[in-house]
Amino acid sequence: MCACARPRDRGRGGGPAGPRGAPGNAGLPGNLQLAGETCEAGQAVNGFDAFGNALCIDIQPASTAGVGVDCPNTLVTAADLRRCDLRGQSLSGRDLSFATLIKADLRGTLNGTDLQGADLRKAELTGSDLTDVNLSSANLSFARLGSVHVAGGDWSGAVLRKAELSLSRTTNARLTGADLSDASLILSQHTGSDFSRADLSGADLRQTVFQDSSLFLATTSPSLDQARMINTICPDGVNSNRNNNTCTGHELP
């Protein structure tokens, strides 16, 4: 049997090392982009899916909720607060008009907060107290507003396309000219609220109550006949089931 040593095997035992290999290729650039996607500011890559798409996670520390890369200490008019966790912040009476609050978490009490013209797309407001809030001309498309309590306040001209408003309650709120197209208002209750000239096209109004509210000139492409109404209580108290599943002709209390 031959006892010959394997070539270069001696390198592990203190023998001469082999020649150094050629340098590798340069790494990916700092602004990592795979499959046409990038992580947003305040996020980090957490892995990749089967197609090579980057999986991003938030890296804002939980201990600094509301004060991070995207969350300045000052809550003022036109502030950029996108993706901020503002739970626990004192927002009542604040002037956040025209602020950018895309995907922000504002769950809590916002009594008298001025959010006129604010960008609240995909914002989280579930279960919040929105007494006397000014949301006129604000954009709340895809926002989560389930189980909110709205007493008074101005929502005129607000955009609530595909917003989630199930189990919400409004009392004497003004929603004139609001865009509620394709929004979900299932099991919501509205007392003395004004939805006149609102766009309810495609809205889900099953078991919604419009007690003493106004749907005057509200449209659903082009009339209330095409809203999704089952056991809906019209402003004058008529059940939509007795009116061909619509509140047409019963828009006023």
pLDDT tens-place string over residues 163-172: 999 999 999 9
pLDDT digit string (tens) for 3-21? Answer: 544 545 444 555 666 676 6
Is 50 within the bounds of a domain? no
Structural domains counted in the chain:
1
Across the chain, where does the E strand assignment appear?
Answer: 43-48, 54-58, 149-151, 169-171, 189-191
CB 89 within 8 A of CB 69: no
Is 30 within the bounds of a domain? no
Is 49 within the bounds of a domain? no
Is 228 within the bounds of a domain? yes
Rg (CA), the chain: 28
Is 166 within the bounds of a domain? yes
Is 25 within the bounds of a domain? no
pLDDT band at 71 (very low <50, low <70, confident <90, very high): confident
pLDDT at residue 34 is higher than 90: no
The span from the CA of 107 to the CA of 148, in Å, is: 9
CATH number, domain of 138, equals 2.160.20
pLDDT digit string (tens) for 129-145? Answer: 999 999 999 999 999 99
pLDDT band at 64 (very low <50, low <70, confident <90, very high): very low
The span from the CA of 6 to the CA of 17, in Å, is: 14
Q: What is the pLDDT of residue 165?
A: 98
The span from the CA of 60 to the CA of 197, in Å, is: 42
Is 16 within the bounds of a domain? no
Containing structural domain, residue 108: 91-253
Least confident of 27-36, 156-165, 239-248: 27-36
Work out the mean pLDDT of the chain and round it to a whole number: 82
Is 6 within the bounds of a domain? no
